[in-house]
Amino acid sequence: MVIDLARGMAASAEGLTLNEMAAQLNVGRRTAERMRDAVLMLFPQVEEVSDPPTKRWRIRGGLSAFEQAPTATEMLELTKAAAALRAAGEPARAAALESLERKV
C-alpha cells in the first residue's frame, strides 16, 4: 500500500492531500498520515506543497523503474489474459500481450 501511495503522489502533478490519500487507499486519515510518513522515509524527494487551507505532497520526476515494475500478480494476470485470448481464437491479440510480457 505504501508503494501504491507513492505511485499516486508521483502521478499527480499538484500532489495529494491527506484526505485524498485516505480516499484513494480506502483508509482513515490517521492511517493515511502514517503511510505518508512511510513514503517520506522511503522517498526523500517527496515535496510538501502549501495549498491553503491544506497541504499536498508529490514526488516530482516520478519513481524509479524499480518502484514502477509490475508485480508478480500483474504479470500472472497478463499471462492468463494472453492464454485466454489464444483459447478464444485471437492469436494476434494474444501475441501482442505475450510480446508485452517479454518486454517487462
- Contact between 54 and 14 under an 8 Å Cβ cutoff? The reply is no
- Contact between 29 and 35 under an 8 Å Cβ cutoff? The reply is no
Alpha-carbon distance of 57 to 18, in angstroms, equals: 8
Task: For residue range 32-52, list pLDDT tens digits in order.
Answer: 999 999 999 988 889 999 989
Give the pLDDT score at 66: 46
Give the pLDDT score at 65: 46
Task: For residue range 42-97, list pLDDT tens digits in order.
Answer: 888 899 999 899 999 998 876 664 456 677 888 899 999 999 999 999 999 999 99
- Contact between 21 and 58 under an 8 Å Cβ cutoff? The reply is no
Q: What is the pTM of this model?
A: 0.60
Alpha-carbon distance of 4 to 83, in angstroms, equals: 28
Task: For residue range 18-27, list pLDDT tens digits in order.
Answer: 999 999 999 9
- Contact between 21 and 62 under an 8 Å Cβ cutoff? The reply is no
